[in-house]
Amino acid sequence: MTQLKTISTTNCRIGTKRLKAILAVPENAAGLIVFAHGSDSSYTSPRNTHIAERLHRDGFATLLFDFLTETEACERDNSFKPPLLADRLNEVIDWTDQLDTIKSLPLGLFGSGTGMTAVMIAAANPRKPLHAIVSRGGRVDLVSPWLGQVNAPTLFIVGERDKSLVSPNQNATQTVKGVSKLVTINGASHLFSETGKLDEVAELAAAWFTTHLQSLAAGSVPR
């Protein structure tokens, strides 16, 4: 049985836009996972929070943040501007380098929906070493020009019933340069709201990050 770790949780305001965020750091953290939420969601996303809580059990620190200010969020088109979202994600990653508790942890990214567009653009030209990516129903169809530049090991998870995204995620799996894998979850829709389906996503994500990040935590991480 996995032993629960002591977790320090902090509400944060990041960067010049004062983006809302919550940082959770277990004792002896094995890595840092930054979450990039989809449109019509926020840093309080219950789906991403559920997955973050599963990652805590394996010793991963997590950072969930808002891409947009309240004013910016009133313009829904902002959630579909990949370069804007990528700039914000990079600003958040830069911010993590200012905190002694997490700056040396191996970095992973978890993207969902339109948040995955930011992940792919950031991963195409990473500001610091990026060791693993997980996508949950990612809108990779919006960032096809960047996919061939992504070298980090990437797990694409898509619901079987999310018909419009199955093919784009299949193509993305074949296009990225790094190690990649596609998992299609039977009976799941875009939000994985069916009983037990989000738990499947959480287990897959935990296994992927454990494989690609946990071994790095014991040694030095390239800077």
| CA-to-CA separations, 126 to 152, 165, 181, in angstroms, rounded | 10, 25, 20
Average pLDDT over every residue of 38-46: 91
Rg (CA), the chain: 16
Average pLDDT over every residue of 79-97: 96
Say if residue 31's pLDDT is above 90: yes
Write out pLDDT tens, residues 130-167: 999 999 999 999 999 999 999 999 999 999 999 999 99
Pick among 3.30.70.1350, 3.40.50.1820, 3.20.20.70, 3.40.50.720: CATH of 7-215: 3.40.50.1820
Residue 217, both tokens: 């935590």
At 67, the amino acid letter reads F
Among 26-30, 62-66, 178-182, 219-223, the range scoring the smallest mean pLDDT is 219-223
Sheet arrangement for strand 60-65:
7-14, 19-26, 60-65, 31-36, 107-112, 132-136, 154-159, 180-185
Q: How confident is the model at residue 5 (pLDDT cuts 50, 70, 90)?
A: low
Question: Helix (H) and strand (E) counts for the chain?
Answer: 8, 8
Q: How confident is the model at residue 40 (pLDDT cuts 50, 70, 90)?
A: confident
In the chain, what are the domain boundaries? 7-215
pLDDT value, residue 222? 40
pTM as predicted: 0.93
pLDDT value, residue 4? 56
